[in-house]
Amino acid sequence: DQISIPYPQRNGAGKVGRIPVGIGRKRLRIVVTGGAGFVGSHLVDKLIARGDDVIVIDNFFTGRKENVMHHFGNPRFELIRHDVVEPILLEVDQIYHLACPASPVHYKYNPVKTIKTNVMGTLNMLGLAKRIGARFLLTSTSEVYGDPLEHPQKETYWGNVNPIGVRSCYDEGKRTAETLTMDYHRGADVEVRIARIFNTYGPRMCIDDGRVVSNFVAQAIRKQPLTVYGDGKQTRSFQYVSDLVDGLVALMEGEHVGPFNLGNPGEFTMLELAEVVKETIDSSATIEFKPNTADDPHKRKPDISRAKEMLNWEPKISLREGLPLMVSDFQNRILNEDEGKGQ
């Protein structure tokens, strides 16, 4: 599965093989499903920057062309409008499989479509990986732990998930995607990697996806009260997107299947997060309490010892460092929306 292009080597001999990128590494052809989304587009930036060929597959359900537009015209970048629920034929070396709505508003919008994306979409990408001998990475989620009875969560924990709840299309969907991934690994020798991603934030997040970070940041910019659900004492751990992308690449390039928790262990209550947003954007912002949603996990914090040890990876950017990095992106997009409304 190499690009067969004669390439003059430093020593002058013409050799057939993948095109060397930098010293000691060959240029890879990589598919990123969901590459027009929040995490996917940052991953694409990194892969293009290091010199690889990238094909993005996206149906633009929550993704946006604007997230990858800066690569248009680059011959090493290709964007395909395609739904992963349908089969596709491609020839690549690696598949990063991210396509799936990730926020509750989006995955609950059409739950059957969400579970089809998780099951049939993952099956198709594994079938593709099997046919062409590509390495496959699944972006699973901390939601596979459900409302955890173990804290913090290690990869060995099997989870506490409601199979018939409103979140099940997503969390049970991802659990099935993990099962499919392991079955293709064991049964068809597909090289696989599984990441369990914890709450991630950064530029290009959907503004109105209902996630707590995007809500608070947009509310503070729009001079609206920050909406805290429930008593605000539930906890989450927030990871800056570049840390996640580094972890995904380390996992893909490493020798271990996983699953690996990829998240920032810094744990915050929603009230503490509201305080950090106030400090960062507008100290006069107020808080409004609202009822919480069904099945909301009370606490969540990754145990990342396995990723530290086996992938030599850990997040570098704290919440107080990362939040300011998404503010100008949100300000620009909110400003554009407001200008659009005025026309």
Near ligand UDP by CB under 6 A: residue from 47, 169, 270, 307: 270
Residue 1 makes contact with ligand UDP by CB under 6 A: no
> Cα–Cα distances in Å, from 201 out to 15, 19, 102, 131, 327?
44, 34, 12, 35, 11
Tell me which DSSP letter residue 103 carries: S
If DSSP codes are grouped into helix, strand and coil, which group holds residue 333? helix
Q: State the minimum distance, in angstroms, from the CB of residue 297 to ligand UDP.
A: 6
87 binds, among ligand NAD, ligand UDP, none (CB under 5 to 8 A by kind): ligand UDP
β partners of residue 269: 235
Tell me which DSSP letter residue 84 carries: T
Tell me which DSSP letter residue 153 carries: B
For ligand UDP, the closer of residues 256 and 267 by Cβ is: 267
**Calpha distance 283→59 (Å, rounded):** 39
334 binds, among ligand NAD, ligand UDP, none (CB under 5 to 8 A by kind): none
102 binds, among ligand UDP, ligand NAD, none (CB under 5 to 8 A by kind): ligand NAD
> Cα–Cα distances in Å, from 96 out to 44, 112, 120?
10, 23, 16
Site for ligand UDP in 144-183 (CB under 6 A): none
292 binds, among ligand NAD, ligand UDP, none (CB under 5 to 8 A by kind): ligand UDP
**Which range, of 13-21, 246-254, 280-288, 290-298, touches ligand UDP by CB under 6 A?**
290-298
Q: State the minimum distance, in angstroms, from the CB of residue 104 to ligand UDP.
A: 5
Site for ligand UDP in 200-239 (CB under 6 A): 210-212, 215, 227-229, 234, 236
Q: Long-range contacts: 310-314, Cβ < 8 Å, 24+?
A: 310/254, 310/256, 310/260, 311/247, 311/250, 311/251, 311/254, 311/256, 311/260, 312/250, 313/246, 313/247, 313/250, 313/251, 313/262
Q: Which bin fits 14, alpha (ψ -120 to 50), beta or left (φ > 0)?
A: beta
Residue 114 makes contact with ligand UDP by CB under 6 A: no
If DSSP codes are grouped into helix, strand and coil, which group holds residue 328? helix
Per-residue mark of binding to ligand UDP, 68-87 (x: CB under 6 A)? -------------------x
58 binds, among ligand NAD, ligand UDP, none (CB under 5 to 8 A by kind): ligand NAD
Please give the torsion angle defined by the CA atoms of residues 97, 102, 106 and 108, in that order, rounded to the nearest 10 degrees. 100
Query: Within 13 Å and on the Cβ side, how many CA atoms surround 246?
Result: 16
For ligand UDP, the closer of residues 104 and 322 by Cβ is: 104
**Calpha distance 8→12 (Å, rounded):** 6
If DSSP codes are grouped into helix, strand and coil, which group holds residue 237? strand
The residues of the shown chain that bind ligand NAD, judged by CB under 6 A, are 33-34, 36-40, 57-63, 83-85, 98-102, 117, 121, 139, 141, 197, 199-200
131 binds, among ligand UDP, ligand NAD, none (CB under 5 to 8 A by kind): ligand UDP
Contacts of 147 (CB under 8 A, 6+ apart): 160, 161, 162, 295, 296, 297, 298
Site for ligand UDP in 40-69 (CB under 6 A): none
Residue 299 makes contact with ligand UDP by CB under 6 A: no
Q: State the minimum distance, in angstroms, from the CB of residue 243 to ligand NAD.
A: 12
Q: State the minimum distance, in angstroms, from the CB of residue 273 to ligand UDP.
A: 8
Q: State the minimum distance, in angstroms, from the CB of residue 143 to ligand UDP.
A: 6
Active site residues: 170
Q: DSSP strand E in 230-282: where?
A: 235-237, 239-240, 260-262, 267-269
Tell me which DSSP letter residue 165 carries: S
Q: State the minimum distance, in angstroms, from the CB of residue 10 to ligand NAD.
A: 39
Residue 128 makes contact with ligand UDP by CB under 6 A: yes
Name the site residues for ligand UDP (rule: CB under 6 A).
Answer: 87-89, 104, 123-124, 127-128, 130-131, 199, 210-212, 215, 227-229, 234, 236, 270, 292-293, 296
